[in-house]
A and B are shown apart, each in its own frame.
Chain A
Amino acid sequence: MAIKDLALAVLPLLAVVAAWCAASVFDLVPGYLLPSPAAVFDAGWRYVWGPAGQGPYAGRFAGDLAASLSRVLLGFSLAVVVGIPLGICSGRLATVDRLAAGMVGGLRAVPGICWLPLALIWFGIGLKTTVFLVALAAFFPIYQNALTGARMAPPIYFQAGAMLGVSGARSVFAILLPLAMPNIVTGLRLGMGISWAYLVLGELTGVPDGLGAAIMDARMAGQTDLILAGIVLIALIGRGCDCLLVLLVRCLCKSARRQG
């Protein structure tokens, strides 16, 4: 059964790759628009493993990855540090909710990309602009899901806690956060996903390093194979970050580990 499920999951992917192979073997699409899978793999391989000097991009990967990861993690962490406490407070305290709701709702109506010109003026090209865009974009799903989780927490659990001697501030950590945990995890995963989207956006603006910068450079040089390789790499790394995030939260919080 598991093998069948796996086969079903892989089948569409194989079909796409097969169509792609056919397109390049029979020369249906010119190579500068869609290079062959082998060329893309080759470009990717040299980008990741090739010794420096063996081509324009060889050996850049480690530096690009470090730059991109640090931007994502920095922006994402900022969004978590502000989003979760503010969301939890808004979910439980009517005054905080009223104070925050208008502001957050207004900001959310602004498409994230609109901030780019302003961010470039404020922060210039580089780390700060990207981190700002990532933090802003990741904030909304994290805040909103934490808020929903906190608001939906059934009062009976707080009554149960109170009669067992756990109330007030202690109940926040012992009861409220565990109850809201499934929503918090959803918010974190959505936030992580959108972080990668805005990372690439921030890196397309002419920063010297980063995965987004690498594919933008490849466009200048007309290296479609490296663009495609970069896209695949960003997808894989984004997926990897999602898995690591889930694993990390499960290690840290019992309540994320087991809720049926």
Chain B
Amino acid sequence: MAGEPILELVDLSHYFIHNGQADSVLRHLGLTVGRGELVCLIGRSGSGKSTLLNIVAGFLKPSQGQCLLDGRAVGRPGPDRAMVFQEDALFPWLTVRENVAFGLGGDGWPRERRQREVERLLALVGLAGYGDHLPHALSGGMKQRVALARVLIRSPRLLLMDEPFAALDAQTREEMQELLLGLSYRRQSILFVTHDVGEAVALADRVLLLDRASGAIGAEWAIDLARSRDRNGEGFQRLCARIHRRLRREPADAGPSDVRP
């Protein structure tokens, strides 16, 4: 992929300690995300996709190896690598507007500029006019839009997404994918975790397979289909079939599970 890398994982290993035994999830994994690139990471459950994302976000410290953002080792979680979670993690006592403004915190922004910024983000995710709603009054898709606006307001260097649309209905999921592609056109760098091959092929510049057996990237596909991809097109279907075949070669559920210590 063109452009210098924004994220580099170098020789990354991670293991959880279970009853005194080390359960390794990632082994000597290497991965890069280029500036402005949308990379989808797929893999069967238990392959360590979420672990990898948690390491990049700074929620987990890798047992070994390096995680570099713009060439610097990542430390504690911060707004430069913001995450959109699968589940709803909006603050339930804050309105949509207050949730979006949360990340601006006490940064001493002038009030007017803050408000303008919040309204701009709400419009960007298609929620202008919903600023005064509370999260529980929103549908699942709208909640994920707010979650997106909440992290985008800090202009993250890299957007991390952990199966963010998995809980949405098919129609809403496609709308959200369109929204995400819009961000991608604006050169937002995105690392997107999913187990839905169709979603990965529809969105990604590159699809990476996290291989459970080896604990590293097992395969990689550059998606050179034209944008606004036709999901029923022959090329699209053929690529999906190929990735599916590769996924099926993965050992069935037997290895380390998704259980966290």
Contact = CB atoms under 8 A, between A and B. Distances in A.
Interface string A186-224: 000000000000000000000000000000000000000
B92 interface: yes
A257 B93 CA distance: 8
A144 B150 CA distance: 34
B94 interface: yes
A255 B93 CA distance: 5
Contacts of A255: 93
Contact of B77 (A159, A181, A254, A259): A159
Interface in A142-182: 156-157, 159-167, 170, 174-175, 178, 181
B185 interface: no
Contacts of B154: 164-165
A47 to B, nearest CB: 44
A28 to B, nearest CB: 54
A168 to B, nearest CB: 10
Interface string B105-149: 100000000000000000000000000001111000000000000
Most buried by A among B57, B58, B103, B154: B103
B85 interface: yes
B85 A160 contact: yes
A255 B81 CA distance: 28
Interface string B49-67: 0000000011100000000
Given A159-B83, A163-B57, A163-B82, A258 B93 contact: yes
B93 A181 contact: yes
A159 B103 contact: no
Interface residues of B, number: 27
B105 A166 contact: yes
Instruction: Tell me the dominant secondary structure on chain B's binding face.
Output: loop
B78 interface: yes
Contacts of A163: 57-58, 77-79, 81-83, 151
A157 B91 contact: yes
A174 B101 CA distance: 13
Contacts of B58: 162-163
Contacts of A159: 57, 59, 77, 83, 85, 89
Most buried by A among B59, B77, B137, B154: B77
Contacts of A156: 85, 87, 89
Most buried by A among B77, B93, B150: B93
B221 interface: no
Nearest to A165: B79
A260 interface: yes
Contacts of B76: 162, 167
A178 B57 contact: no
A164 B83 CA distance: 9
A160 B89 contact: yes
B62 to A, nearest CB: 17
Contacts of B103: 164-166
B102 interface: yes
12 contacts: A160-B83, A160-B91, A161-B102, A162-B78, A164-B79, A165-B79, A165-B103, A170-B105, A178-B91, A259-B93, A260-B134, A260-B135
Interface of A: 156-157, 159-167, 170, 174-175, 178, 181, 254-255, 257-260
What are the 9 A-B residue pairs with the smallest beta carbon separation, nearest first?
A260-B136, A164-B103, A255-B93, A162-B77, A160-B89, A163-B77, A156-B89, A178-B93, A163-B82
Given A165-B154, A166-B102, 11 more contacts: A156-B89, A160-B83, A160-B89, A162-B78, A163-B151, A166-B103, A170-B105, A174-B102, A174-B105, A255-B93, A258-B93
